[in-house]
């Protein structure tokens, strides 16, 4: 009896936390497909925890262990777990920019395994009950195989794809949210196995709640620190980085460089081709910066400073390496724009200056980099 009440209380606490997340998400304006998918995940978790309360009350003797009730509870558990993992797969694909999943048809195809497991589990409980129930409340190995098969497929695919994307060179700036997307389904698998082995321990609700809070907090941090259009660090995050990068001892050694990047004739692109095309140009510039900085020994920090201006902080005292990075950025931008088949030229001017890591030095270096950028633009116009 005691473990039953504790189990119920654990699930109630998890439901309250997930309800708070649900209310926060539904209170925001302008729901996107990705956000709608996340809300469905939250609701599915709440449904699972509620249903799990009924199951533990049956096991604890608070509810009668009649076949119809036992079958209904376990059918719902199976379907809802598949729904959670299926929506999570769709959510991670949307979050990580996979174009194919933006189409409704492909999202429906991705959820077909959920429908299949629902049909199979209902058929087994209705027509072949002995294959899934060995006693009044004893579930068979067949049930657990059906119960875990589809969720494990979704979990493995989501985890592997997220990890692979996280460690691609060009995605190093997105590593934290990608890893968060990979951790959640992996944690779900581990705690799900533990819960299956020890039914009376509320590991699943606790584990889901802790990992979801981690994912949600990571997501909120990204919303306030990542530029929505380019997916680069925003100006606020740049300020945090500069403040946190101050060396403990001021040696006066200039071992950092500020690079200021500005797109050439960007206003002309907006005026002649429209602001939508201007947004594509900004995204292309962000991709060029990421590709150029990926795997760099300079450990670059990239941010969108505003409009068509970007900033890179490179940890080096070598001007030659900074020049090399600048040339790589310019070449990569031209190449990506050509590959995109754009009807306009897309190039960048870059100015840079060194500083010692202190905040005042950064402000001075930023002004110097801006001046160098202006001189390059003037020189370009005169050619």
The residues spanned by each domain of the chain are: 2-225, 235-382
* 356-366 mean pLDDT: 89
What CATH number should be reported for the domain whose range is 2-225? 1.20.1070.10
Which has the closest alpha carbon to 310: 354, 348, 358?
348
Provide the pLDDT confidence category of residue 134 given band limits of 50, 70 and 90.
confident
Lowest mean pLDDT among 13-17, 295-299, 346-350: 295-299
- CA dist 11 to 53, 84, 201, Å? 7, 16, 11
3-class secondary structure, 143: helix
Asked if the model's pLDDT at residue 111 lies above 60, the reply is yes
Provide the pLDDT confidence category of residue 375 given band limits of 50, 70 and 90.
very high
Which has the closest alpha carbon to 369: 261, 269, 254, 277?
261
In our burial notation (b when 16+ CB lie closer than 10 A, e otherwise), range 65-86 reads eeeeebbebbbbbbbbbbbbbb
Which has the closest alpha carbon to 58: 66, 47, 46?
66
* 330-343 mean pLDDT: 92
Q: Tokens 């030229």: give the residue.
A: 345
Q: What is the mean pLDDT of the chain?
A: 88
* C-alpha span between 53 and 63 (Å, rounded): 11
* 121-146 mean pLDDT: 89
Asked if the model's pLDDT at residue 236 lies above 70, the reply is yes
* C-alpha span between 346 and 336 (Å, rounded): 9
pLDDT of residue 179: 83
Rank 85-94, 184-193, 201-210 by mean pLDDT and report only the highest: 85-94
* 281-302 mean pLDDT: 87
Provide the pLDDT confidence category of residue 169 given band limits of 50, 70 and 90.
low
* 226-240 mean pLDDT: 86
pLDDT of residue 368: 95
* C-alpha span between 204 and 200 (Å, rounded): 11
In the CATH hierarchy, which fold is given to the domain comprising 235-382? Alpha-Beta Plaits (3.30.70)
Q: Which residue has the higher pLDDT, 177 or 212?
A: 212
Contact 285, 344 (CB under 8 A): no
State the pTM of this model.
Answer: 0.75
Name the percent of the chain lying above pLDDT 70.
Answer: 94
Lowest mean pLDDT among 5-19, 44-58, 213-227, 353-367: 213-227
Beta bridge partners of 233: 226, 303
């Amino acid at each position: 009896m005691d473990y039953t009440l504790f189990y119920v209380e654990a699930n109630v606490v998890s439901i309250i936390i997930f309800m708070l997340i649900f209310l926060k998400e539904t209170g925001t304006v302008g729901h996107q497909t990705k956000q709608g998918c996340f809300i469905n995940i939250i609701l599915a978790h709440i449904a699972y925890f509620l249903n799990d309360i009924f199951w533990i009350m049956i096991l604890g003797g608070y509810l009668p262990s009649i076949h119809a009730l036992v079958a209904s509870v376990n059918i719902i558990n199976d379907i809802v777990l598949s729904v959670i993992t299926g929506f999570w797969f769709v959510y991670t694909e949307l979050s990580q920019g996979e174009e194919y999943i933006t189409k409704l048809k492909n999202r429906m195809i991705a959820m077909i395994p959920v429908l299949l497991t629902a049909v199979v589990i209902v058929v087994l409980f209705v027509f072949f009950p002995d294959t899934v129930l060995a006693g009044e409340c004893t579930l068979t190995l067949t049930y657990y195989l059906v119960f875990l098969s589809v969720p494990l497929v979704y979990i493995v695919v989501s985890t592997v794809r997220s990890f692979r994307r996280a460690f691609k060179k060009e995605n190093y700036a997105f590593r934290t949210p990608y890893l968060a997307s990979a951790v959640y389904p992996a944690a779900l698998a581990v705690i799900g196995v533990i819960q299956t082995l020890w039914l009376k321990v509320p590991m699943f609700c606790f584990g889901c709640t802790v990992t979801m809070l981690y994912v949600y907090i990571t997501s909120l941090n990204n919303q306030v620190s990542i530029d929505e259009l380019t997916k680069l660090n925003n100006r606020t995050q740049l300020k945090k980085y500069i403040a946190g990068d101050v060396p403990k001892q001021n040696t006066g050694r200039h071992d950092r460089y500020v690079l200021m990047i500005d797109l050439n004739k960007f206003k002309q692109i907006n005026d002649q081709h429209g602001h939508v095309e201007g947004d594509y140009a900004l995204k292309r510039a962000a991709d060029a910066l990421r590709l150029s900085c990926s795997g760099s020994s300079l450990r670059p920090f990239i941010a969108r400073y505003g409009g068509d201006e970007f900033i890179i902080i490179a940890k080096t005292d070598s001007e030659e390496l900074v020049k090399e990075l600048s040339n790589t950025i310019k070449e990569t931008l031209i190449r990506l724009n050509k590959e995109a088949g754009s009807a306009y030229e897309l190039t960048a001017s870059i100015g840079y200056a060194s500083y010692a890591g202190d905040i005042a030095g950064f402000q001075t270096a930023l002004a110097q980099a801006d001046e160098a950028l202006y001189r390059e633009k003037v020189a370009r116009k005169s050619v």
